[in-house]
Structure 1
Amino acid sequence: MSNPLHPIVSVLNTALYDFYIVPLFLIVAGVFLSVRLGFPQVRYLIETFRVTREKPLHKHGISSFAALMVSTASRVGTGNIVGVSSAICLGGPGAIFWMWVIAILGAASAFVESTLAQIYKRHDDVSGHSYGGPSYYIHTALGKRWLGVLFSGFVLLTYIVGYNLLASYNIQDSLTGYKFYDKASTPFIVGFILAALFALCIWEGAKKISTITSYLVPFMGTIYVIVAFGIIIYNISNVPAMFGTIFKNAFSFDAGFGGFAGSCIMYGIKRGLYSNEAGMGSAPNASASASVSHPVKQGLVQSLSVFIDTLLICSATALMCLSTNIEPSKDISGIIYVQKSLASVLGSNGAIFITFSMCLFGYTTLIGNYYYTEGCLRFILNRRPTKKIRNVFKTIATAIVFLGATSSASFAWDSADLCQGLMVLVNIPVILILSPIAIKALKNYTDQKKKGLEPVYIAKECGVEQPTDYWNPGQKL
């Protein structure tokens, strides 16, 4: 279905990506923060796994692991399958290398933004939980409420509109190869079913969402990686040549610089950002809900989410497909390339498995995306939304899920690319400005660990002068 907004979206996308704006923001921030912090995403990997096992400080709080699963639910989605396939088919196998680069560097940005979200999180007197995100640290630390409102608006556009349009479209698109698929009716039927399931979940509230995703995400991720690994082992003789192709293509002049918008570098950056969201300011909305003794703990945990998404799930898709003898091309870009790759080993069962994976990945993406938007709506209104406002908001979000299944592929992808780019333009400069606060927090954390203490954060001792709802004597941790 054509959309009159598509030409406008396309022009804005060209400005953000063809002129290197978004790529430069991501790469410069990732390099600077990685070096300035001493690569905490790698250096403290063992400590990160320890932290994920901790229980919440308060009985009714959300654990660090549950917050990790909510952010991973949004990150790990249809982009890990269709996005990776599109990057390979349109940009070349070298796009995978650039996805890896963006993930490793971006994990430092993810660490900073999530640490900041914890420091400046707010306390909800009604639920007893904490909430927050970039809009809140923009307002509190920089004193720029208008900028926080603008960012919140971009989050709503990205997750309620851009990403959920795309997730819904990708789910219905995974059914196109089946005999029962009817172009005229199936998208509407799938849209209705997805909208109904989505509504059923979001009307249960944030706690329900974190519970559902904490079970579904590890389950679906583990099964998917096991199957992908099995395919790679089956085609083990192709693996050396496969890695050779990835690295050769990644540094090929024609592939990398012959028309930057269509290069492996650009597709690696675009699809890498869509997949892992590092530096966008999305995961901090989930990070702020975790009940931990030190903000750095959640910063480390969210950097792990980037690795889970790109280095594990995205790599599983890429290596699974490239290890087969199915040649990637524009004609089979998207779900078809993945289906053909699996069918070359599993036969018709491969298509069934990938459809199941797409549906499960897509559903958790839809509900994970919605979770991010609640705090932003609250920030825009500057108060807790009334039940009526929340119900209207949920109804609009549900309608967009339905519309996504009936939209076109190009409009869905371009909308997602544009919206995520707008978030990057705001969040990256902010976290660079506020990075000294995260740097002090990390030093405070490591100093306490060296003394054999369980780190506890005191805001004023770490140079935070602004009033916070947490982290000072007499306040909640």
Structure 2
Amino acid sequence: MDIEKILVDLSNWIWDLPLLILLVGGGIYLLLYSRFLPFKHFWHAIAVLRGKYDSKASVGQISAFRALSTALSSTLGMGNISGVAIAIGMGGPGALFWMWISALIGMATKYYTCSLAIMYRGKDDSGVVQGGPMYVIMQGLGKKWKPLAVFFSITGLFGSLPIFTANQLTQVLNDVLLPGLGYEASTKSSLLIGIAISVMVSIVIFGGIQRIANYASKLVPLMVLLYFLSVFYILAMNHTNIIPAFEQVFTDALTGNAVLGGSLGAIIIIGVRRAAFSNEAGIGTAPMAHGASKNTEPVREGLVAMLGPFIDTIVVCTLTAIAILVTKSWETPDIGGVTVTLNAFTTTMPDYGAILLVFIVFIFALTSLFTYSYYGTKCIAFLLGTRHKKTYNYMYVASITLGSISTMSGIVGLIDISFALMAIPTMLSALILSPKVNRATLIYFKKVYLKSSTI
């Protein structure tokens, strides 16, 4: 029995029209229902993120900025560097356009799901205030909906596994680090790399959300800046190809990519899948991070959260994709995943591009690995109690090594399946409870405008 083929086939079956309707159709509904709130109040969201409206009243564990950094630390990483390359490899340049559309819609989805994460917080068996789709379902919809909350938590255990990030980090280290040291990549080298990564991650994740958020809030902004500067250099060196690259994105998005033999419908699905993997809008992981925020105002937390898909997909993923397209690295045969992005760096910066990307990937990957462990422990605590958190973390660390020696296609299939199943309870609860968010939004902005008019 070919487990890899089963996972890929099941993933393709799940990510079909019904899920597309739930994620994209549900997101469009929320965007219209909010009267395009993410775009109307974008700058207010920036002000909230900067701490202009912070209050000393706090029941959560981390600040709104750290909540966003924690959420972004799981999405800014392999989803942006490797996931984009996979999207272009599967669906051509046109897949990027549908990632954009999905992200813009996802801003509204994030607003609702993360506002609800504050509005309907619960407590774990240790009495600590927690948030996330499982608590939203229990507190907002009632105990009769508990099977849906349990379903989310079970699928979340698998969706939070670090196997994709570990696999791609191992791949880039095998491609760059080992040859530079005079060694050849092998299963043994992948195993040793996996064990080394497991040890480093263990040091942080057993410290809990405060330690994870502390690392994420420091490392994520720094790595984003370094990555921006690197990609801007690639674009500057290949500036004559930028406009043709964008033209190719728009052309392929509306016609399908003849080279890859993809239909328009297939490209749309690929774009939505990879955008979901990149920014996680509608999946339910980000509400778990934002639910731990000290912010007591649901609308403010939702506004901060909605910036995630914009930063992640519209900005960072676009930079990666255009770098891949202007260097034509995606056309190189027999390479895939993070190696495509690596090829773009080495083509433009042959002397130091590889080492630079390895450093960036390494930090991005570590912050992703830190955060996903937190999501998994929240799911296991909801299902079995907080005493089982460490047990899950032991399994989590072991799966890093497993991911390092597994095939990419099988891993992508497993994560896609998990994310698809997680989206069902997350989106259903958001759609049902959306009137509650709209009511809170109306009250919140009345207060904001009243306060500003009296100053």
Alignment partner of 1:413 is 2:412: yes
1:29 aligns with 2:29: no
Matched, 1:339 2:336: no
Q: Is the 8 A contact 2:377 2:392 kept in 1?
A: no
Which of 146, 165, 188 in structure 2 is aligned with 1:167? 165
- Structure-1 residue corresponding to 2:148: 147
In structure 2, C-alpha distance between the alignment counterparts of 1:234 and 1:446, rounded to whole Å: 46
CA positional deviation for 1:287:
0.9
Tell me, which stretches of 5 or more residues in structure 2 are unaligned?
none
Matched residue, 1:74: 74
Are 1:47 and 2:39 an aligned pair?
no
Matched, 1:283 2:286: yes
For 2:251 and 2:396, how far apart are their aligned partners in 1? 43
Residues 419 and 123 of structure 1: CA distance in aligned 2, closer, same or farther (over 3 Å): closer
Tell me whether 1:249 sits opposite 2:252 in the alignment: yes
- Aligned match of 1:457: none
Q: How much does 1:306 deviate?
A: 1.2
What is aligned with 2:356? 353
The separation in 2 between residues aligned to 1:327 and 1:376, in whole angstroms, is 37
Judged with a 3 Å threshold, the aligned counterparts in structure 2 of structure 1 residues 325 and 148 are, in CA distance, closer, same or farther, namely closer
Contact 2:94–2:257 (Cα < 8 Å) also in 1: no
Name the residue aligned to 1:471: none
Equivalent-residue separation in structure 2 for 1:354 and 1:287 (angstroms)? 29
How far does residue 269 in structure 1 lie from its aligned partner after superposition?
1.2
Cα distance in 2 for residues equivalent to 1:206 and 1:314: 26
Cα distance, 1:326–1:147 mapped onto 2, change above 3 Å: closer
- After superposition, the Cα gap between the structure-2 partners of 1:330 and 1:146, relative to the gap in structure 1 and judged at 3 Å, is farther
2:11 pairs with 1:10? no
* Contact in 1 for aligned 2:159/2:418 (Cα 8 Å): yes
Gaps of 5+ in 1: 455-477
Aligned equivalents of 2:370 and 2:418: distance in 1? 18
Find the counterpart in structure 1 of residue 210 from structure 2. 207
Take 2:202 and 2:357, find their aligned partners in 1: how far apart are those partners? 24
Q: Structure 1 residues 193, 420: CA separation in 2 closer, same or farther (over 3 Å shift)?
A: same
Kindly indicate whether the alpha-carbon contact (under 8 Å) linking 2:149 and 2:425 is maintained by their aligned counterparts in 1. no
Instruction: Summarize deviations over 1:123-161 as a string: whole Å, max 9, x none.
Output: 57968x63111001111221211211111111111002x
Shift of 1:213: 0.5
Q: Which residue number in structure 2 is paired with residue 446 of structure 1?
A: 445
Aligned residue number for residue 362 of structure 1? 365
Q: CA deviation at 1:28?
A: 0.3
Deviations 1:332-358 (A, max 9, x none): 322222122112211131111111122
The one-letter code matched in structure 2 to 1:412 is: I
Q: Confirm whether residue 392 of structure 1 aligns to residue 394 of structure 2.
A: no
Contact 2:124–2:381 at 8 Å: present in 1 too?
no
1:325 positional shift: 4.3
Counterpart-to-counterpart distance in 1, 2:258 and 2:435: 38
Letter in 2 for 1:284: P
The DSSP-based 3-state class of the residue aligned with 1:348 is coil
CA change 1:132–1:239 in 2 (3 A) is same
TM-superposed CA distance for 1:264, in Å, is: 2.5
Distance 1:8 1:253, change over 3 A: closer
Q: How far is the alpha carbon of 1:328 from its aligned partner?
A: 2.5
Report the CA distance between 1:324 and its aligned residue.
2.1
What's the CA shift for 1:266? Answer: 2.2
Deviation sequence 1:197-221 (CA, Å, 0-9, x none)? 1111111111111111010111111
Report which stretch shifted further, 25-34 or 50-59: 50-59
Q: Which amino acid aligns with 1:177?
A: D
Identical columns (%): 29
Who is 2:401 aligned against? 402
SS at match of 1:340: helix
The two structures have a TM-score, normalised by structure 1, of 0.88
Greater helix proportion: 2
Question: Shift of residue 363 of structure 1?
Answer: 0.8
Q: Which has the higher mean CA deviation after the structures are superposed, 331-340 or 130-139?
A: 331-340
Q: Which digits, 9 at most, give the CA deviation of each residue in 1:55-97, with x for residues without a partner?
A: 5635784110000111000111212111101111221101111
* In 2, Cα distance between equivalents of 1:63 and 1:114: 14
Give the aligned partner of residue 137 of structure 1.
136
Of 348-357 and 248-257, deviating more is 248-257
Cα deviation, residue 377, structure 1: 1.8
Partners of 2:330 and 2:209 lie apart in 1 by: 43
Which SS does the other structure have where 1:291 is aligned? coil
2:151 corresponds to which letter in structure 1?
L
Aligned residues of 2:256 and 2:263 also touching (Cα < 8 A): no
Q: Using structure 2 for the length normalisation, give the TM-score.
A: 0.92
User: 3-state SS of the aligned residue for 1:175?
Assistant: helix
Q: What residue in structure 2 maps to residue 464 of structure 1?
A: none
- Paired residues, what number? 443
Shift of residue 268, structure 1, vs aligned partner: 1.1
Residues in 2 aligned to 1:245 and 1:99: alpha-carbon distance in whole angstroms: 15
User: How far is 1:282 from its partner?
Assistant: 1.0
**Are the aligned partners of 1:90 and 1:262 in contact in 2 as well (CA < 8 Å)?**
no
Which residue does the alignment assign to 2:114? 114
Q: Distance in 1 between matches of 2:264 and 2:370?
A: 31
